[in-house]
């Protein structure tokens, strides 16, 4: 199913967003920057294929939202089950993941399907997959490849049909090199690799996202929709966004609450206000206007690192 609206092709709408857990508040994925539009094409291509997917991206870039979109687009009939690998219990991780039969261990009066069993027929989203203990990584790969899981205490395997969508904020191949990640699982995940760029590298998404969040929050709080002043727009576009889209959402929410007027000004954003445009920034602006996304992204990254160096050692 294609979720974009004919009216606005940069919005992927989640039709049943109200059924999503509260932590996932978005009703749509905003993809406007050329880099995310390209990503969107890749997502549409991969979503319906029977391949596992690895989403790589910094914190707050929207990995889980993207995973939910992939699940919906795949039209798999089962559930979308999200699990943060670091939340598995150190002692009972295997049973939590693959399930157990009644009496398999102390405190197991009845059998449980486990996270994998709950996602049967659907999608298992494993957040920060590099945090999965090494032994479980190998076991998980075995289950996904054979389509059979052994529940703790069971005398026969249970058939499972699960599509894995994994997320990571670190480079898995580096983790493989340092012996912390199973090389075979990394290969298994490499067929469907999606890179979600940090927000500072897709500046074209910043204002559309800000307006999208404004729309959501004004509706929810029954407030009139303010505009964003030009100066505030510049501040938003030049901020580094270490917390990515989640940070932008919080900044917009805060600005809406404090602006108390028709317009959000730079002072309402609670972000450092950049000095007047330098010649380099003018050049960046021109590249942005010309739509040269790749060159723009690498120049911005260079500028960001130079600014960091100046901040640290005054070089």
Residue 246 partner contact from ligand ATP, Mg ion, none using kind-dependent CB cut-offs of 5 to 8 Å:
ligand ATP
Q: Is 197 in the site for ligand ATP (CB under 6 A)?
A: no
Residues 70-109 close enough to bind ligand ATP by CB under 6 A: none
Give CA–CA dist 247/265, Å, rounded: 18
Residue 24 partner contact from Mg ion, ligand ATP, none using kind-dependent CB cut-offs of 5 to 8 Å:
ligand ATP
Q: Is 64 in the site for Mg ion (CB under 5 A)?
A: yes
Q: Is 33 in the site for ligand ATP (CB under 6 A)?
A: no
Give the strand pairing for 263-264 and 227-228.
Answer: parallel
> Contact with ligand ATP (CB under 6 A): which of 10, 61, 123, 158?
61
Give CA–CA dist 189/194, Å, rounded: 10
State the burial class of residue 252 (Cβ atoms within 10 Å of its Cβ: 0-12, 13-18, 19+). buried
Residues 169-188 close enough to bind ligand ATP by CB under 6 A: 169
Which residues are CB-neighbours of 23 under 8 A, at least 6 positions away?
A: none
Q: Is 168 in the site for ligand ATP (CB under 6 A)?
A: no
Size of the site for ligand ATP (CB under 6 A): 19
> Contact with ligand ATP (CB under 6 A): which of 33, 56, 127, 201?
127
Strand ranges (DSSP E) for the chain? 11-13, 28-30, 53-56, 80-84, 123-127, 148-149, 158-159, 163-168, 193-195, 227-228, 263-264
CA 118, chain centre distance (Å): 22
Residue 198 partner contact from ligand ATP, Mg ion, none using kind-dependent CB cut-offs of 5 to 8 Å:
none
Q: Is 29 in the site for ligand ATP (CB under 6 A)?
A: yes
Which C-beta is closer to Mg ion: that of 137 or that of 168? 168
Residue 245 partner contact from Mg ion, ligand ATP, none using kind-dependent CB cut-offs of 5 to 8 Å:
ligand ATP
Length of the chain: 315
Q: Is 128 in the site for Mg ion (CB under 5 A)?
A: no
| Residue with the two structure tokens 């040269």 | 292
């Amino acid at each position: 199913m294609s979720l974009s609206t004919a009216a606005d092709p940069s919005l992927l709408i989640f039709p049943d967003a109200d059924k999503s857990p509260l932590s996932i508040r978005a009703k749509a994925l905003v993809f406007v920057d050329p880099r995310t539009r390209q990503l969107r094409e890749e997502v549409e291509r991969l979503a319906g294929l029977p391949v596992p997917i690895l989403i790589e991206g910094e914190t707050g870039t929207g990995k889980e939202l993207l995973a939910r979109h992939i699940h919906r687009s795949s039209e798999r009939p089962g559930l979308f089950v999200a699990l943060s690998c670091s939340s598995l219990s150190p002692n009972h991780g295997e049973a939590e993941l693959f399930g157990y039969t009644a009496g398999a261990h102390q405190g197991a009066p009845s059998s449980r399907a486990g996270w994998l069993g709950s996602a049967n027929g659907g999608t298992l989203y494993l957040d920060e997959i590099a945090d999965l203990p090494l032994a479980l990584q190998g076991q998980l790969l075995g289950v996904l490849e054979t389509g059979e899981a052994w529940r703790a205490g069971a005398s026969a395997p249970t058939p499972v049909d699960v599509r894995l969508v994994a997320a990571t904020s670190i480079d898995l191949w580096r983790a493989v090199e340092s012996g912390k990640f199973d090389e075979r699982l990394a290969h298994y995940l490499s067929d469907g690799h999606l890179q979600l760029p940090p927000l500072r590298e897709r500046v074209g998404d910043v204002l559309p996202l800000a307006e999208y969040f404004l729309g959501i929050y004004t509706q929810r709080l029954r407030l009139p929709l303010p505009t964003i002043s030009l100066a505030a727009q510049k501040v938003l576009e030049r901020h580094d966004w270490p917390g990515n889209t989640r940070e932008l959402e919080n900044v917009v929410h805060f600005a809406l609450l404090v602006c108390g007027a028709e317009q959000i000004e730079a002072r309402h954003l609670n972000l450092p206000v950049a000095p007047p445009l330098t010649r380099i920034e003018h050049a960046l602006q021109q590249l942005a206007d010309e739509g040269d996304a790749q060159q723009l992204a690498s120049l911005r990254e260079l500028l960001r690192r130079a600014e960091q160096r100046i901040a640290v050692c005054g070089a």
